[in-house]
Amino acid sequence: MRSVAETLAAVVGRVTRLAPESIDLDAALGRVLAHDIVATRALPGFDNSAMDGYAARSAELPATLPIASVVAAGDRPGPVPAGHAVRIFTGAPVPAALDTVVMQEDTQRDGDRIVLPASPVGENIRHAGEDIAHGDRVLPAGTRLRAWDLGVLAALGVARVDVGRAPRVAIIGTGDELVDVSTQPAPGQLVDSSAHALAALVTEAGGVAVRLGIARDTLADIRAMLERALAYDVVITTGGVSVGDRDHVRAALDAAQVELELYKVAMKPGKPFSFGRRGTTPVFGLPGNPVSTLVGFELFVRPALLAMQGASVIERPRRGVVLPAGYRKPAGRAHYLRARVEGDVARVHPKQGSAMLSSVIGTNALVEIAAELTEIPPGGTAPAILLEPV
């Protein structure tokens, strides 16, 4: 069996980056920049006041000066005679030749004149380009765009962006015991919950999820659904990848000319993970137990989807956490524990079975216990993969 690190490296090394596409800015949240964004304008584009107050020439202060005009945001002020000041509001352009702004709290009005103290050059002025200069590299290729990034791009006048194409991901559930969520399960049947969780995870990773349905436990049915799925960019199957009498996924992959390149990983849950390709189309075989499915997605599929989009960061952030109760296990496989991290402390869920769906409720991290370890003592530390900001 390969280690988790070896498997991840092999998977990411075998997927192909998708060609970029141009999309509207408002559709770019979570997408990956295909090219650097270089500023074609400065921010701010003009010198403007950082305060409500009075703009003047620093060399003429302190002084009591007549007020030549009032300048508000959006105005286009004309020249200001020497020996004059202007009333100015926050965000308003600073008239040419004026080089300082005195906040109104430091002034005293005297009829149509204003008493101004000494004020240095540049005081309370936001200068053109001091935020972003023309020609600055604002965002590098490989950046996964956040909401705040979109605001910056809008300020720069970027209405469309080139991003890695969103991978189209076909999801197949396998098993005679599975039914759709709209069906009341009969005795011995289970809702195909993994398909819905996977579709959401694919979307969160920037992909487009398509649930093709449930293939029954026959070679013919699984192969037929695989052939449909291979028209997409990525295929994910769940269940049937083991070696039981009714586990036909491996045989169906072979019949569909999918070359199986990886099988079994030294991890718990999720050991019977498989990966193969037909041409450049990656096919991920995830285990049937729902928690195993989700852990396998997090460790291998999500990084692969981001790599296909050209992301510079493909793994979740990690943090060292304290395990108050410690943890014991046999050596040989890495364990991934569902936990709630608060601060630097991980509260491991008491139910860690691979079919225990309740263990994912409130989970925001997977605590990784390395394969070679057998014990984390109470109060010891281990790395945690953060599934959401903590």
Here the CATH number for the domain that contains residue 370 is 2.40.340.10
Considering Cα of 91, then 94, then 99, then 104, what sign does the dihedral take?
negative
Spatial CB neighbours of 330, under 8 Å, sequence gap ≥ 6 = 374
The pLDDT value given to residue 247: 64
Asked if residue 157 is part of any domain, the answer here is yes
Instruction: Give yes or no: residues 354 and 294 share one domain.
Output: no
Instruction: Tokens for 380, please give them.
Output: 């010891």
Kindly report, residue by residue over 167-180, the tens digit of the pLDDT: 999 999 998 899 99
Instruction: Tell which of 253, 288, 308 closes a domain.
Output: 308
Assessment of whether the complete model's pTM goes beyond 0.95: no
Instruction: Verify that 215 and 261 share a domain, yes or no.
Output: yes
Q: What is the CATH number of the domain that holds 145?
A: 3.90.105.10
Same domain, 79 and 212: no
Note whether residue 13 is domain-resident: yes
Is it the case that residue 269 has pLDDT exceeding 90? yes
60 and 8 in a common domain:
no
Whole-Å CA distances, 187 to 106, 184, 190, 289, 353: 79, 10, 9, 18, 22
Residues 351/352/356/358 CA torsion (nearest 10 deg): 50
- Specify whether 259 is located in the same domain as 355: no
Supply φ then ψ for residue 27, to 5 degrees. -105, 10
- Residues 381, 362, single domain; the answer is yes
Do 181 and 257 lie in one domain? The reply is yes
State how far the Cα of 125 lies from the Cα of 142, in Å rounded to an integer.
35
Say which DSSP state 154 is in: H
Domain assignment present for residue 63? The answer is: yes
Instruction: Look at residue 244 and tell me whether its pLDDT is greater than 80.
Output: no
pLDDT at 390: 78
Shared domain for 186 and 197, answered yes or no, is yes
Same domain, 264 and 342: no
Q: Is residue 357 part of a domain?
A: yes
State the Cα–Cα distance between residues 277 and 308, nearest whole angstrom: 14
Q: What is the dihedral of CA 156, 161, 164, 170, to 10 degrees?
A: 120
Same domain, 195 and 302: yes
- Mean confidence (pLDDT) of the chain: 95
pLDDT tens for each residue of 304-333: 999 999 999 999 999 999 999 999 999 999
User: Of 251, 282, 308, at which residue does a domain stop?
Assistant: 308
Q: What range defines the domain where residue 137 resides?
A: 23-42+133-164
- Domain membership flag for residue 176: yes
Decide which of 112, 144, 164 is a domain's last residue.
Answer: 164
pLDDT band for 251, please (50, 70, 90 cuts): confident
Report the distance separating Cα 128 and Cα 155, nearest Å. Answer: 14
Flag whether 313 is in a domain: no
pLDDT at 240 exceeding the cut of 90: no
In the predicted model, what is the mean pLDDT of residues 47-75? 98
* Confidence bin at 242 (pLDDT 50/70/90): low
Let me know whether 287 and 324 are in one domain.
no
Task: Report yes or no on 198 lying in a domain.
Answer: yes
pLDDT > 70: percent of the chain: 98
The answer to whether position 180 is within a domain reads yes
* Domain total in the chain: 4
Q: What are phi and psi of 227, to 5 degrees?
A: -60, -40
Query: Is pLDDT above 70 for 246?
Result: no
**Residue 241 shares a structural domain with residue 196:** yes
> Rounded to an integer, what distance in angstroms lies between the CA atom of residue 205 and that of residue 199?
10
> Rounded to whole angstroms, how far apart are CA atoms 208 and 234?
10
What CATH number is given to the structural domain containing 118? 2.170.190.11
